[in-house]
Amino acid sequence: MATKRIDWIDTAKGIGIFLVVWGHFYADDTLKIIIYGFHMPLFFFLSGYLYKIRDIRFLPFLKKKSQQLLLPFFIFQILTFAIVNGLSLVGSGQLYEPLMKQVSQFFFLQGEVGFNSPLWFLVVLFSVEIVFYLCTRYVKKGQWLVIALLFILAFLLSKNEDIRVMFGLQVLPVSLLFYYVGFKCKEWRILERKAWSSWYMIILGAIAYLCTMFYLNQGQIVGFRSNNLGNFFLFAVGALLGIITFCLICKKIGKSVLWELFGRNSLIIMGTHYFFLILFANAWKLFMHETLAAVYPIWVTLLLTVFAFSVYYVIFRIIQKLKK
127-156: per-residue pLDDT in tens? 999 999 999 998 878 788 888 999 999 999
Residues β-bridged to residue 52 = none
Q: How confident is the model at residue 1 (pLDDT cuts 50, 70, 90)?
A: very low
- Residue 245's pLDDT is what? 98
Nearest residue to 14 (alpha-carbon basis) of 258, 296, 298: 258
Decide which of 139 and 78 is more confident.
78
- Residue 101's pLDDT is what? 96
Mean pLDDT computed over 51-59 = 92
Do you know the residue count of the chain? 324
Residues β-bridged to residue 228 = 223
Return the domain boundaries, the chain: 2-323
CB-based burial label for 300 (10 Å; 0-12, 13-18, 19+): middle
Whether 288 has a pLDDT exceeding 80, the answer reads no
Dist CA 208 CA 212 (whole Å): 6
pTM for the whole thing?
0.95
- Residue 13's pLDDT is what? 98
Q: Which amino acid is at 254?
A: G
**How many CA within 13 A on the CB side of residue 48?**
27
What are the Cα distances from residue 123, in Å, to 66, 118, 120, 155, 158?
A: 9, 10, 6, 21, 20
Element (DSSP H or E) covering residue 175 = helix 172-187
